[in-house]
């Protein structure tokens, strides 16, 4: 059964939390990042962008030891505090007063990733795993929980609802209009109950953070081999995780943008699409798919609906039935000549919050020639693919919530 345990977080002091917490580094544009670095000396971005202190861009392995230095400086200056006893943290995120996510921040055992008790649905790139594993070994902390989902659980819901009635340790709102709340669960009885309830579950599903978890497992495996007294309980064996009921996940799609039609004319392209899709030209009428196996397409100033033909609905497995795989199998690979979805520069992805209007805008300015809109997949599809040991194509799901860096930090 998956193992979950409390941990002693390093975290911002109450008066600094709204200043420290940041989005992941890569989610900012260069201008946004520089504005925060220029005007907020407490931003976690200063830690993960250590060269800013010298007005020099430093990345890759050269930056790792400097990241560690910046982190130690933040602690020395009192921006971070160390928890006195192990806790489990209840974290609630409210997006624009419409979406609400409530989950537990705790540590999951890296070995459960190897044993398939934490199931995955995405492939990882080994070079990225290796690099991030080196990073973790140098800095010896993790500031971004992976996102793990579990079946709805009445007992855990009741415990969370009771805790929410208390005053939170943190309450802050971001410029993205996200309000974050954090409660400390530090009494032994509640911790033991939460750990026991989680450990009674047969499996978890990793919703987001596949590279981070894989890197943490790789590091744990290496450190275990280097430690003659390894027991499995050392901090390096555990991965900070945000555990959330599966009914609370918000799963959005990634739309596709293609730079050219692979040498085909518009008419030739439509004729080839007609082999496997019912096509309707919707002109200027904005179209977004409303069910599985339906796609939207924007081409030459017009919207189209594409419905997969009934002859193609006999699927061999859960991956073959996935819309992202269908688009790849029937369009991207055979017609547009895109084999490698990760590295081909002719394809780009736009997460679903940007809608088809973003796709239309990029095609209209001729940055791309055609765009495809997807219907988001369901949690059941993710779980089935994970259960069957299959892997989704890259950029199939954009899953909310996205956590802020630096709210809780796991040192090891």
Q: Do 230 and 263 reside in the same domain of the chain?
A: no
User: What's the pLDDT at 54?
Assistant: 87
Give CB contacts under 8 A, 24+ apart, made by 66-73.
67/135, 67/138, 67/139, 68/138, 68/139, 68/140, 70/46, 71/47, 71/139, 71/141
Omega into 261 within 30° of 0, i.e. cis?
A: no
The Cα 27–Cα 33 span in angstroms is 9
**Residues of the chain with confidence (pLDDT) below 50:** none
The SS3 of residue 249 is coil
Q: Do 277 and 316 reside in the same domain of the chain?
A: yes
Query: Closest Cα partner for 195 from 246, 231, 232, 241?
Result: 241
Cβ partners under 8 Å of residue 199, min gap 6: 1, 2, 3, 4
pTM of this prediction exceeds 0.85: yes
Cβ partners under 8 Å of residue 200, min gap 6: 1
Backbone angles phi, psi at 158, to 5 degrees: -65, -40
Q: Do 316 and 200 reside in the same domain of the chain?
A: no
Buried b (16+ CB within 10 A) or exposed e, 82-119: ebeebbbbbbbbbbeeeeebbbbbbbbbbbbbeeebbb
User: What's the pLDDT at 68?
Assistant: 97
Q: Strands, DSSP E only, in 143-248? A: 146-150, 170-173, 178-185, 204-208, 238-245
The Cα 290–Cα 246 span in angstroms is 22
User: What's the pLDDT at 26?
Assistant: 85
CATH number at residue 348: 3.30.1760
Q: What is the signed CA dihedral for 220, 122, 332, 275, rounded to 10 degrees?
A: 150
Q: Give me the number of domains the chain comprises.
A: 2
> Domain range holding 283?
253-394
Measured CA distances, 333 to 324, 325, 327, 349, 363 (Å): 12, 10, 8, 16, 20
Would you say 120 and 386 are in contact if contact means Cβ atoms under 8 Å apart?
yes
The Cα 45–Cα 53 span in angstroms is 11
Give 94's strand partners: 100, 179
Q: Do 279 and 214 reside in the same domain of the chain?
A: no
User: What's the pLDDT at 1?
Assistant: 87
Q: Do 240 and 323 reside in the same domain of the chain?
A: no
In the DSSP assignment, the letter for residue 331 is I
Q: In which element (H, E) is residue 350 found?
A: strand 347-351
The Cα 23–Cα 147 span in angstroms is 15
Q: Do 376 and 302 reside in the same domain of the chain?
A: yes
Q: Do 317 and 404 reside in the same domain of the chain?
A: no
Q: Do 132 and 241 reside in the same domain of the chain?
A: yes
Backbone angles phi, psi at 167, to 5 degrees: -70, 130
User: What's the pLDDT at 411?
Assistant: 98
Q: Do 244 and 257 reside in the same domain of the chain?
A: no
Q: Do 273 and 188 reside in the same domain of the chain?
A: no
User: What's the pLDDT at 341?
Assistant: 95
User: What's the pLDDT at 148?
Assistant: 98
The Cα 311–Cα 296 span in angstroms is 20
User: What's the pLDDT at 9?
Assistant: 98
Strand-strand pairing, 118-119 and 204-208: parallel
Q: Do 234 and 114 reside in the same domain of the chain?
A: yes
Q: Do 282 and 238 reside in the same domain of the chain?
A: no
């Amino acid at each position: 059964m998956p193992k979950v345990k409390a941990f002693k977080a390093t975290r911002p002091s109450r008066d600094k939390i709204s200043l420290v917490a940041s989005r992941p580094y890569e989610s900012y544009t260069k201008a946004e990042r520089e504005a925060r670095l220029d005007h907020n000396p407490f931003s976690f971005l200063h830690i993960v962008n250590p060269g800013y202190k010298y007005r020099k861009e430093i990345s890759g392995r050269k930056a790792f030891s400097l990241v560690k230095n910046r982190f130690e400086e933040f602690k020395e200056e009192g921006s971070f505090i160390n928890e006195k006893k192990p806790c489990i943290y209840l974290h609630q995120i409210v997006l624009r007063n419409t979406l609400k996510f409530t989950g537990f921040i705790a540590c999951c055992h890296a070995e459960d990733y190897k044993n398939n008790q934490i199931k995955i649905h995405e492939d990882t790139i080994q070079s990225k795993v290796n690099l991030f594993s080196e990073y973790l070994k140098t800095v010896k902390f993790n500031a971004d929980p992976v996102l793990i989902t579990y079946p709805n659980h009445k007992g855990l819901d009741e415990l969370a609802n009771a805790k929410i009635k208390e005053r939170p340790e943190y309450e802050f709102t971001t410029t993205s209009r996200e309000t974050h709340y954090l409660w400390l669960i530090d009494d032994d009885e509640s911790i033991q109950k939460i750990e026991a309830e989680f450990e009674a579950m047969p499996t978890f599903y990793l919703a987001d953070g596949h590279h981070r978890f894989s890197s943490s497992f790789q590091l744990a495996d290496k450190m275990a081999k280097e430690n003659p007294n390894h027991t499995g309980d050392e901090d390096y064996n555990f991965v900070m995780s945000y555990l959330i009921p599966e009914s609370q996940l918000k799963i959005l799609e990634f739309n596709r943008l293609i730079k050219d039609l692979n040498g085909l004319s518009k008419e030739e392209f439509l004729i080839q699409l007609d082999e496997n899709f019912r096509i309707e030209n919707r002109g200027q009428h904005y179209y977004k798919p409303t069910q599985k196996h339906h796609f939207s397409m924007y081409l030459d100033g017009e919207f189209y609906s594409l419905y997969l033909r009934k002859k193609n609905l006999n699927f061999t497995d859960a991956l073959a039935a996935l819309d992202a795989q269908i688009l790849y199998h029937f369009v991207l690979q055979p017609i547009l000549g895109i084999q490698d979805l990760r590295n081909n520069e002719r394809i780009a992805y736009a997460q679903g919050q940007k809608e088809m209007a973003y796709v239309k805008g990029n095609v209209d300015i001729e940055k791309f020639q055609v765009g495809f809109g997807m219907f988001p997949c369901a949690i059941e599809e993710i779980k089935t693919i994970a259960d069957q040991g299959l892997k989704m194509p890259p950029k199939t799901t954009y899953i909310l919530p996205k956590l802020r860096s630096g709210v809780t930090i796991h040192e090891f």
